[in-house]
Amino acid sequence: MVPWKLRNRWLNCLLLASQMNFLVTHIYREGNQCEDILANIRHNVDNLTIWFQIPEYISSSFCKNRLGLPSFRFVTH
């Protein structure tokens, strides 16, 4: 069920989506480490943040991604 105040927007989205060909996929956090870091930081911030250059804390992940290098996440139990 879609909330009443969002129903018109939802129906418009469905109409637009029915006219497109697209595929929805999932990328694990290892596949986009920059986004994972930004999402974790954004989770703890209450205001809008705009960067005009790559933040220092994701620059190494960005460079690895740009070079096509893999990134791994090791989990210990």
Residue 12: what pLDDT? 94
Q: What is the pTM of this model?
A: 0.53
Listed by start position, the domains of the chain span 4-66
Give the pLDDT confidence of 37-65 residue by residue, as tens digits: 888 888 778 888 888 999 999 999 899 98
What would the two tokens of residue 45 be? 């911030």
**Cα–Cα dist 9/2, whole Å:** 10
Rounded Cα distance, 33 and 62, in Å: 8
Radius of gyration of the chain (CA): 18
What is the structure's pLDDT at 31?
80
The string of pLDDT tens digits covering residues 7-33 is 999 999 999 999 999 888 888 877 888
Whole-number pLDDT of residue 7 = 92
